[in-house]
Amino acid sequence: MIETDFTFIIQLANFLVMLWFLNRFVFIPVLGHIDMREGKMKDMSDEAQNLAKRGGETLEKYESEMMEIRRASSELISSARKEAQASQAKILEAAKLDFRKSVEKSRQELKAEVESASETLSTEMESFAKSMAGKVLGREVSQ
């Protein structure tokens, strides 16, 4: 059996003092630090989640802006290509027109030269024919 004598009371007092001492200087500060650390960890976790959410939103915004830029650049390239093709067609038509004018001018010059040569040849042929007829007949032939 347990005897309750004076040592039991001293041991009980010692236990209570030790319990108070440990509670006051060890358990409460340690639990306070644990609570504070858990609070900081929760705050850091919340902040990390907020940053991840903001990062995701920023990434979505970036991707949508990039898609818009790609679409706009595609439209710009298409528009520039159409303008270049139209300009090319105009230049080609102008070159064809200049070529046609040049060919027509050359034809007219050639026709004029042929007519001039034909007239000159006609007069020279007539003169040559008279000269030959005069030599064959032995007298001068007049028209």
Q: Helix, strand, or coil here: 138?
A: coil
Show contacts of 87-94: CB within 8 Å, 24+ apart. none
Is pTM, for the whole model, over 0.75?
Answer: no
In angstroms, rounded to a whole number, what is the distance separating the alpha carbons of residues 64 and 112? 71
- The pair of three-digit structure tokens given for residue 48, joined into one six-digit string: 């990390």
For 74-92, what is the mean pLDDT? 95
**Among the residues of the chain, which ranges form H helices?**
6-22, 28-137
pLDDT in tens, 29-76: 999 999 999 999 999 999 999 999 999 999 999 999 999 999 999 999
Question: What pLDDT score does 130 carry?
Answer: 80
- Sole residue written with tokens 């001492």: 21
**Mean pLDDT lowest among 15-19, 28-32, 40-44, 119-123:** 119-123
In angstroms, rounded to a whole number, what is the distance separating the alpha carbons of residues 113 and 115? 5
- Sole residue written with tokens 């920023």: 58
Residue of higher predicted confidence among 11 and 136: 11
